[in-house]
Amino acid sequence: MSAPLAFAWRSLVRQPPRSTLGVLGVAAVGALLLDMLLLSEGLILSMRELLDRLGYDVRVTASDALPGMGAAIEGAPDAVAAIAALPAVRAVTPIRSEDAELAHRDRQVTSVLLGVGGTAPVWTILRGRDPENRRDLVINRYAAETLGVEPGATVTLRASCSHGPTAPPPVEFRVSGVAELPFDTPETASAAARLVDLEDACGAPGAGVADFLAVTSAGDAAAAAVAIGAARPDLRAFTNDQLIGRVQQTGFTYFRQISTVLATITMAFALLLITVLLTVSVNQRLGEVAALRALGFSQRRVVLDVLCESALIVGTGGVLSVPLGIALARWLDTILKRMPGIPEQMHFFVFEPQALLFHAGLLAATALLAAAYPMRIVARLPIAATLRNEVIS
């Protein structure tokens, strides 16, 4: 194999501009292909990472809808107690979210307000501390900047709740910290407080309502979900895996479809590019190939030479395509994340080794397929007729 590879290399360097164009073409196409592969799984992987990072591996809802999107759990304290008593469960945190207007002096901002029961916070404190006391509140960076407040400041909160009075009175909250909340989106304010304080703000203390229950299992999430389903058949329990599966079936299929279509087009383009380059190159050398065959080179050998040329072009271009693709993915990710409603911690393009392996496999297949036609030309080359034609031409 080394002799055909060396021979193919010499053949490529014989035509530097054409070979360079081929390699650059493959690098560009390979970069796009890699990006399509990263895009096809990016949001799913990013979502998975985000869910895992929160520390809960089971989510319990009142319906089959995704957490926070369906009916609320009424009588949440009873459900929390029943689920927390299960041996497969380590901790249960009820979570409820409502809309709220936050105001400080003459500034105000519309915010999502999370009410979290239990002790495990779902946010990361950037400055200050968790909301430990009555009517403490953490806000995200955007809310802090918009209101011009820092930990220790007092803000007025007017909640707009799905349960309780339609227009509860405004309530004063003390900002205990500035935090990064899960599913925060850029230029969107969010805040979080203890669940009891959210219920106070909604004018319905002790309402006992939660959008969903976040559960930490004792180690086996699937077993915990089954146990919860058995203990409370009126509720639905999803592990992170099941949740990701549902998201894959619904929201993110578009990205996979788009990336599949674009990846296919990209590969077809690479295929045509290399086939044309190799075919032109082989057609220009038919006389030489026929002469080599006359001198005793086997059919297998001249075919292998063409395959090696294809492998070298695609291999070199493929290697260059990886850093190019990663750089392009970062740039595209920045652009796509400007879309409204995209959480800051979510990414459209997520690098994973499996995608790189798949990318290499697809490029190898491209090299092989692209070489098929020129290989056929040299394999079926009539030696005598070609030598005769070369002299006549």
The contact set with other proteins (CB under 8 A) reads 3, 10-11, 13-14, 287-288, 290-301, 383-384, 387-388, 390-391
DSSP state of 62: S
Q: How many Cβ atoms from other residues are within 10 Å of residue 298's Cβ?
A: 10
Tokens of 237: 């329990």
HSE-up (13 A, CA, CB side) for residue 295: 9
Angle at 356 between CA 360 and CA 308, to 5 degrees: 15
The least distance separating other proteins from the CB of residue 16, rounded to whole angstroms, comes to 11
Report the distance separating Cα 187 and Cα 160, nearest Å.
20
Q: What is the DSSP string of 313-372?
A: HHHHHHHHHHHHHHHHHHHHHHHHTTSTT--TT--S----HHHHHHHHHHHHHHHHHHHH
Tokens of 287: 């006389």
Q: Taking Cα atoms as reference points, which of 296, 293, 318, 297 lies closest to residue 368? A: 318
Q: Taking Cα atoms as reference points, which of 175, 171, 167 lies closest to residue 148? A: 175
